Amino acid sequence: MSFVSTLHSGKFIITAEISPPKGIGTSRMDRDADLLKGIADAVNVTDNQRAVMRMSPLAACDLIQKKGIETIMHMTCRDRNRLALQSDLLGANALGIRNVLVMSGDHPVKGDHAGAKPVYDVDSVQLLGILRKLNEGFDLAGNELDGRTDFCVGAVTNTELNEVGVIKFKKKIQMGATFFQTQAVFDVNSFSGFMEKVNGIRSENVKIIAGIIPLKSLRSAQFLNKVAGIKVPEDIVREMKDSKNPEAQGMEIAARIIKEIRPMCDGIHIMPVGNHGNTKTILKMAELI
């Protein structure tokens, strides 16, 4: 079943994130993709995440899809102006990439090419508008296209939304986002508050897929606490600190969070630190597969 059909089938969605290689060697990416085959409903492919230059997600999605795995192509507004975004989207659709996840993108100063010119010609709300137009058979300038795209379009959100964040969330729905993938969830109570907030805004057709990062060490927990939109509660940090096997502890925590949030949202999105070696086990522990 295609991801878009799964999304609206009522099944609890499982997606997982893969990074394209820093270079042209695809063996690690291939290994991760193989580990997710038959488990994930679709595999997200990141776009120079954390502003670190890597292989283009368009090429990486194509390589992964050739293995029979459906992808969700990430597209940030950081590196391409409106011409480049649209031409990549047309190319992606022609190659059979059907899902796009839109986001602003970390600023270049956060990455490994800090002196790069930040583009941000359009923002994520405007990029959603572009995708809507392409799906209607027109480009942003209103020119008619030879064939329309058929993208299923998603956006991202933090789970701690202030008032202006809620307004942006609304705008993303208004401009055609049909699913949201969230920043990593560790605090179930706070996630429940987030769901309450967005349930008052979204229709049932807009799906919420919660981000899950399995912790690997105390250090990863401490590091994530400094990342925008992520809060690892003190008791989880303590669990990691007290554990003799932090990796196994992290898997247990991830499975526990998944079980707890399952009744609240429409799916989960696994973003491991490193590779997907533990993903299948975590999903089994969470009784999702």
Partner 1 sequence: MIISRLKELDEILQLLSEKNLFIIGCGKCAKKQHTGGEPEVIDLKEKLKATGKNITGWTVLNSACSINSWEDVLNQNPAIKKSDALLIMSCGGGVSVISRYARMNVYPALDTESLGGVCCNEIVTQLCEMCGDCTISQYGGICPVTQCSKSLLNGPCGGAVEEKCEVDERVCAWDKIFERLKELGKLEYLEMIHEPKNHTKKFRGKKV
b/e map of 106-122 (b: 16 or more CB within 10 Å)? bebeebeeeebeebbeb
Q: What is the x/- site pattern for partner 1, positions 230-259, by CB under 8 A?
A: ------------------------------
Report, in Å, the least distance between residue 263 CB and partner 1: 26
The window from 2-10, 31-39, 103-111, 192-200 that contacts partner 1 (CB under 8 A) reads 103-111
Other beta carbons within 10 Å of 131: 24
Residues 72-101 that bind partner 1 (CB under 8 A): 77-78, 82
Closest by CA to 49, choosing from 41, 57, 58, 59, is 57
The window from 6-14, 36-44, 58-66, 120-128 that contacts partner 1 (CB under 8 A) reads 120-128
Residues 129-158 that bind partner 1 (CB under 8 A): 129, 140, 156-158
3-state secondary structure of 139: coil
Among 2, 5, 174, 205, binds partner 1 (CB under 8 A): 174
Give how far the C-alpha of residue 143 lies from the chain's centroid of Cα atoms, to the nearest Å. 30
Three-class SS of 140-179: CCCCECCCCCCCEEEEEECCCCCHHHHHHHHHHHHCCCCE
CB closer to partner 1 out of 126 and 279 = 126
Which residues form the interface with partner 1 (CB under 8 A)? 77-78, 82, 104, 106-107, 109-110, 118, 120-126, 129, 140, 156-158, 162-165, 167-168, 170-171, 174-175, 183, 226-229
